[in-house]
Structure 1
Amino acid sequence: MLKPWLLAIRPKTLAASVSPILLGSALAYHDGLLQPLNLWLALICALCLQIAVNLANDWFDGRSGVDTALRKGPTRVTQAGLMSPFQLLLGLGLVSALAIASGLWLVALSSWGLLAFGLAALLAVFAYSGGPWPLASHALGEVTVLLFFGWLAVGGSYYVHTLQINPVVMGYGTVAGLISAAIMLVNNIRDIATDRPANKHTLAVVLGDNRARQLYVGLLITAVVGHLVISFPLGLVSLIPVLMMTPFLRRLVGAIRVRQGAGLNLQLAQTAQLVLLYCLAMSAVLVVF
């Protein structure tokens, strides 16, 4: 019974929610303002929201017919009949409740101004795949990821410790968000063949396979350049994350040109590892130096 739930929550995607929280908190630590309890609450809230997005996406896509037997991605439990829609909704309700509880606790400890951002994040859980105008079906998936897994995750996690925000923090949020957006783009490139007949107009469907792959490379290159610009005041230590990422970047840039179908599942997993590597490496630099 545990395996279907692991398939449904998609553990490999969770790095995209945890890593920017760690980066934002490391920025707060660097400024001498880290609040440990706030860090744990932010991590719990972010994890629960990511799991909720995955469960909702499985439920909505299974219900709408987007997920079919032709799909090349990891198993979707609704489409495969491994779990009933009702079971998914129960799980979705549970993790949403945990996200709300941890979020409200975090709001009480920091600022009630966070409530608006929390409500927006919760709304995005359902608006991404469902509702009258699903974001994922209107070429807005990558922008949504940049907003919530970049700017909001890094900026918001910094804010819960410091009650302030600044351009440098948002710059790091942009870097993390661009890499996370590349994860979403790989997912959508893989699913072009099944999304197009289902009238799911992802950015990859709109751009076409070749241009979407070019955009993927552009996102990663822009992220590296952005990091170098925003980290320039730190000096040579700012090169540590780039040096650690370079072997992965070379592999990913080369592989995106040739991988097809199910082979893009590995590309997706490795891109998720890249955002985790970047955020951990940059967090270590901020904590140590």
Structure 2
Amino acid sequence: MATLAQWIAGSRPRTLPAAVAPVVVGTAAAAAIDKSDLALAVIALVVAVSLQIGVNYANDYSDGVRGTDEERVGPVRLVGQRLADPENVKLMAFGWFGVGALAGLALVALAQTWILVPLGALAILAAWRYTGGDNPYGYRGLGEVYVFVFFGLMAVLGTQLTQAGETTLVGLLGAIACGALTSAILVANNLRDIPTDRQSGKHTLAVRLGDRGTRTLYLGLVGVAVLCTLLMAIWHHWAPISLIGLVILAPGIKAVVGGATGRALIPALATTGMGLLAWSLLLFFPLARG
């Protein structure tokens, strides 16, 4: 039986910045037009964090029962390392999806943004189908698309919509930047796992692009985030100050550019996640001040 510490490690806490950052950016975009709402932001944060933890447990379950986690490096794999019963991990995943769904219903009811209900249901379905089901799209190289759409565009613009009742071009730029950096986390993860994924038949985008192409994609995604941030300066002159937060990415970029493999790429995951969070927090203030 897995210990509490192992269950917590299995939730992959290092990925949580990918859930927090879009809520911060969406709230900042709402504050930029004087329509932010702290209470709704907190509920949106519960939704985002719950779905992130849920998808992490779902991936642990699905990859574990398929045997693709047998030779992994990196975080704890509850099923792949036979630390927990697969059905309990699956139950944990759907438990967190349930928390996210209930919080999401409360959010749209308070904000009267009912259009987000089917989109939220689609997000949960997509979270499960990433590595679950008969034909998971994560095994077909589409994981980064899911991350960009749901943890970038939908999370940021959905947060802004629930608070402001509208979306803006600045919000869209923030959503694109957030989605790009969040996708970069997954790219770094899949870069590390190319050898084991190729061996197990998991055709991620990294496997399809190969080592060199994946490293180029990582740098390109970071570049997209930088460009979007610079474009925000058209409306908010101090927005580029948030790029200071991306300095945290330096060790990760060095690892990716320097050809690091295996465990040596783990810092790229951590620094990209923390850089994303730092960027979002530093972006909040120039946007919120109008």
Do the structures match in fold with TM over 0.5? yes
Q: Which residue of 2 aligns with 1:271?
A: 272
- Residue 256 of structure 2 aligns with an amino acid whose one-letter code is I
- Residue 76 of structure 1 aligns with an amino acid whose one-letter code is R
**Secondary structure at the residue paired with 2:200?**
coil
**In 2, Cα distance between the equivalents of 1:9 and 1:191?**
19
Q: Which residue of 2 aligns with 1:262?
A: 263
Q: Contact (CA 8 Å) 2:187, 2:206: kept in 1 or not?
A: yes
**Offset at residue 81 of structure 1 (A):** 1.5
1:258-286 deviations in Å (ceiling 9; x for gaps): 32101111110111011101111101222
Moved more, 214-223 or 151-160: 214-223
**Offset at residue 109 of structure 1 (A):** 1.0
- Residue 106 of structure 1 aligns with an amino acid whose one-letter code is L
Of 176, 179, 188, the match for 1:174: 176
Q: Which residue of 2 aligns with 1:190?
A: 192
**Offset at residue 232 of structure 1 (A):** 2.3
Q: Which residue of 1 aligns with 2:224?
A: 222
Q: Contact (CA 8 Å) 1:78, 1:85: kept in 2 or not?
A: yes
**In 2, Cα distance between the equivalents of 1:221 and 1:97?**
36
**In 2, Cα distance between the equivalents of 1:250 and 1:4?**
29
1:24-46 deviations in Å (ceiling 9; x for gaps): 01111221112222111111011
Q: Which residue of 2 aligns with 1:148?
A: 150
1:131-168 deviations in Å (ceiling 9; x for gaps): 22212111111111110111011100000111212222
Moved more, 128-137 or 184-193: 128-137
**Secondary structure at the residue paired with 2:83?**
coil
TM-score by length of 1: 0.95
**Offset at residue 249 of structure 1 (A):** 4.2
**Offset at residue 23 of structure 1 (A):** 1.0
- Residue 143 of structure 2 aligns with an amino acid whose one-letter code is G
1:210-249 deviations in Å (ceiling 9; x for gaps): 11111111111121012101332222x122112342x334
**Offset at residue 123 of structure 1 (A):** 0.7
Q: Which residue of 2 aligns with 1:31?
A: 33
TM-score by length of 2: 0.95
Structure 1: unaligned runs, 5 residues or longer: none
Q: Which residue of 2 aligns with 1:92?
A: 93
**Secondary structure at the residue paired with 2:80?**
helix
**In 2, Cα distance between the equivalents of 1:15 and 1:201?**
26
Moved more, 84-93 or 59-68: 84-93
- Residue 287 of structure 1 aligns with an amino acid whose one-letter code is A
Q: 1:74 to 1:108 in 2, by over 3 A?
A: same
Of 139, 143, 147, the match for 1:137: 139
- Residue 288 of structure 2 aligns with an amino acid whose one-letter code is V
**Secondary structure at the residue paired with 1:154?**
helix
Q: Which residue of 2 aligns with 1:281?
A: 282
Query: In the comparison of the two structures, how many residue pairs are matched?
Result: 286
For residues 101-120 of structure 1, what are the structure 2 equivalents within 5 Å?
101-110=102-111, 111-120=113-122
1:154-209 deviations in Å (ceiling 9; x for gaps): 10000011121222211110001101110000010111111112111101000001
**Offset at residue 91 of structure 1 (A):** 1.3
1:62-113 deviations in Å (ceiling 9; x for gaps): 0111111x21222201111111112212212321221111111111112211
**Offset at residue 253 of structure 1 (A):** 2.5
